[in-house]
A and B are shown apart, each in its own frame.
Chain A
Amino acid sequence: MNSIIITRAGTHSTIQDFGRFQYQHLGVSPSGAMDQRIITELQKIIPNHQNQFLEFAYVGPSIKVKEGSVKICVGGNCNMSIQKNNNSQLECQPYKSINLFEGDELIIHNTIDSVYGYIAFEHGLGLEPCLNSYSTDTKAGIGSINRPLNDEDIFHISKDVSSWDLISIPIPDLEKVTNFKVYPGPQLQYFSDNTLQSFISGVFTITNQSDRMGIRLKGESLISSKSHDILSEGILPGSIQVPSDGQPIVLMRDIPCTGGYPKIAILNEVDISRISQLPPETKITFDLQTIY
């Protein structure tokens, strides 16, 4: 038996996978990793990840091997090091597999010029799925672990490391995008041509009131010419909704299942991952596509 203990939980550390689907009509949000590009990359290094990825934001967790040994890989742009059992320190890099032995501690200090990072564990973390997914939705209290991770959480990994071979991939080119192509939202016609012009030509700032549910933007007010109150309808991640204060919100993975604000536009799937990595104060612009 191999086990690890969380010696420092970090901030917003949760278990995530590619999302929980087929339950949104029962009020259950899709959730899933904020930056799905990274866990897609990690699959190449740890193919047997069991869909139990650890996601963290800004400050990463520290993880110590209690018993046995584990093979892991970190994804994202992070500062990290390994404190060995014999007190020596080891450098380590993302997208390279890491073998950790009893007493070794992986310390992820922080993400660099980005928000989210991930850890894949060979054979997973010994968790059971909840509604066919391992993802945690902290607001709804749903998940293989239905809360953020805490200090002292322990995970048992029954299978032993399959091979000590070190595997790495080139650091993926997850270029930083700040201009987003968006498609018309279902309520595009709720906004006048002038307001749409402000949306396209304006610069919006990501505020610190942003989380797994949504990214709140600050910029020129986008006031609807019709109403900011529609009958609630199904919504999907990436939608840009505009409440009555005119400040748009990009809805993210822990989306409310239905929403009553007009949606001016929607991002494509990969741009949801891209925008999730932009820290507060980043300035972004939108480019409205007419096709679709």
Chain B
Amino acid sequence: MYFKGINSYGDRGLVLDFGNETSKSISQEVNEAFLNISNLNLQSLNIIPSFNKIVVIFENSHIRDQNKDKINIKMNETKSKSNKKATKTWKIPACYDEDFALDIKIIQKLHQITKEEVINLHSSVRYYTYYIGFMPGFPYLGDVPSQLITPRLATPRVKIPARSIGIAKNHTCIYPKVSPGGWNIIGQIPFDIFDLQSSYPSLFLPSDEVKFYSVSLSEFQKIRKYNFSINELIKEYSS
């Protein structure tokens, strides 16, 4: 158990503290607690998990104080029994073609490996979804194999293409839409991962597992044309 306790965040927020470290097992506990607290259907405005914290926001201090005990009781209850929730496992096509792999040479040079080795390493691991943040639908995935760990770009890029796959430190990500950013871009996926028309707008959710597989440029373009909806993507690429 990593859970340390609940602290106040101003007059209307709470922070559930899981320490100062980050690891997959800490995140698993955070995300399990996130689901348990979400299922309490509290009068909260937002519940935000991250690497080792969960922030819960209420409309005012009165409602916050009324709900604090319910969270406390739930956290103590789940200390003893763990109820694993079925999360999705994704197999996501990734095109590492040079048109998309804008920064792959930086990683090759840093680790003295070939492009094929970068691709094989990146698509060899089943990544864990730590949390969704930074921009709508942006998944923090990890951990990448040690031979791929690479610092952020010294100068962030002004415009990263939508659907780009990036690596920064021990994490990998997908940019849902065009954005400035400092991750090393190594490829692109052929569909959108955030859809405002859907009531479940984000393809990935905290604690989903994601594995990439390499596809050719022509295969990438073929999938791109289908224009899958979120529901179709779930059927096609997750289990």
Q: Which residues of A contact B (CB under 8 A)?
A: 19, 21-28, 30, 130-131, 140-142, 183, 185-186, 231-236, 238-239, 256-258, 266-269, 292
Which one, B88-96, B101-109, B133-141, B212-220, is touching chain A?
B133-141
Q: Which residues of B contact A (CB under 8 A)?
A: 7-13, 15, 20, 22, 34, 45-55, 57, 59-61, 131-138, 177, 194, 196, 201-202, 205-206
User: How long is the Cα–Cα vector from A233 to B60 in the complex, in angstroms?
Assistant: 21
Look across to chain A and name the residue whose beta carbon is closest to the beta carbon of B205.
Answer: A26
B22 touches A239 (CB 8 A): no
B9 touches A266 (CB 8 A): yes
A183 touches B11 (CB 8 A): yes
Given A231-B50, A233-B55, A266 contacting B10 (CB threshold 8 A)? yes
**Taking the nearest CB of chain B, how far is it from the CB of A245, in angstroms?**
17
User: How long is the Cα–Cα vector from A239 to B22 in the complex, in angstroms?
Assistant: 23
B137 touches A26 (CB 8 A): yes
Given A236-B57, A268-B11, A25 contacting B134 (CB threshold 8 A)? no
Given A25-B131, A26-B136, A258-B133, A233 contacting B51 (CB threshold 8 A)? yes
**Taking the nearest CB of chain B, how far is it from the CB of A249, in angstroms?**
16
User: How long is the Cα–Cα vector from A258 to B7 in the complex, in angstroms?
Assistant: 17
Closest 9 CB pairs of A and B: A234-B48, A234-B55, A266-B10, A24-B46, A258-B133, A233-B53, A26-B202, A21-B45, A27-B136
Look across to chain B and name the residue whose beta carbon is closest to the beta carbon of A292.
Answer: B8
B54 to chain A: which residues have CB within 8 Å? 234
User: How long is the Cα–Cα vector from A238 to B9 in the complex, in angstroms?
Assistant: 11
User: How long is the Cα–Cα vector from A234 to B12 in the complex, in angstroms?
Assistant: 13
**Taking the nearest CB of chain A, how far is it from the CB of B233, in angstroms?**
16
User: How long is the Cα–Cα vector from A131 to B198 in the complex, in angstroms?
Assistant: 9
B196 to chain A: which residues have CB within 8 Å? 130-131, 142
**Taking the nearest CB of chain A, how far is it from the CB of B135, in angstroms?**
5
A234: contacting residue among B49, B134, B205, CB under 8 A? B49
The contact sample of 17 A-B pairs, CB cut-off 8 A, is: A19-B45, A24-B46, A25-B46, A25-B49, A27-B132, A30-B45, A140-B135, A141-B177, A183-B8, A183-B11, A185-B10, A186-B9, A233-B48, A236-B46, A258-B131, A266-B11, A269-B59
A239 touches B177 (CB 8 A): no
**Taking the nearest CB of chain B, how far is it from the CB of A246, in angstroms?**
21
B134: contacting residue among A27, A141, A185, CB under 8 A? A27
A236: contacting residue among B13, B22, B52, B60, CB under 8 A? B13
User: How long is the Cα–Cα vector from A223 to B206 in the complex, in angstroms?
Assistant: 34
**Taking the nearest CB of chain B, how far is it from the CB of A263, in angstroms?**
8
Given A21-B45, A21-B46, A23-B201, A238 contacting B134 (CB threshold 8 A)? no
A22 to chain B: which residues have CB within 8 Å? 45-46
A25: contacting residue among B9, B12, B13, B47, CB under 8 A? B47
B48 touches A257 (CB 8 A): yes
Look across to chain B and name the residue whose beta carbon is closest to the beta carbon of A266.
Answer: B10
User: How long is the Cα–Cα vector from A185 to B49 in the complex, in angstroms?
Assistant: 18
A236 touches B133 (CB 8 A): no
B51: contacting residue among A19, A21, A28, A231, CB under 8 A? A231
B136 touches A28 (CB 8 A): yes
**Taking the nearest CB of chain B, how far is it from the CB of A12, in angstroms?**
20
B10 touches A183 (CB 8 A): yes
User: How long is the Cα–Cα vector from A185 to B20 in the complex, in angstroms?
Assistant: 16
Look across to chain A and name the residue whose beta carbon is closest to the beta carbon of B55.
Answer: A234
B11 touches A25 (CB 8 A): no
A27: contacting residue among B45, B53, B138, CB under 8 A? B138
Look across to chain A and name the residue whose beta carbon is closest to the beta carbon of B20.
Answer: A231
**Taking the nearest CB of chain B, how far is it from the CB of A257, in angstroms?**
5
A23 to chain B: which residues have CB within 8 Å? 46, 136, 201
A232 to chain B: which residues have CB within 8 Å? 50-51, 133-134
B138 to chain A: which residues have CB within 8 Å? 27
**Taking the nearest CB of chain A, how far is it from the CB of B170, in angstroms?**
12
A186 to chain B: which residues have CB within 8 Å? 7, 9, 15
Look across to chain B and name the residue whose beta carbon is closest to the beta carbon of A24.
Answer: B46
B61 touches A292 (CB 8 A): yes
B48 touches A25 (CB 8 A): yes
A27 touches B52 (CB 8 A): no
A130 to chain B: which residues have CB within 8 Å? 196
User: How long is the Cα–Cα vector from A232 to B171 in the complex, in angstroms?
Assistant: 13
Look across to chain B and name the residue whose beta carbon is closest to the beta carbon of A267.
Answer: B10
Given A131-B196, A185-B10, A268-B10, A231 contacting B135 (CB threshold 8 A)? no
B10 touches A27 (CB 8 A): no
**Besides A19-B45, A28-B201, A234-B54, 8 new A-B residue pairs in contact (Cβ under 8 A), listed by A number:** A24-B57, A26-B132, A131-B196, A140-B136, A236-B13, A236-B57, A268-B11, A269-B59
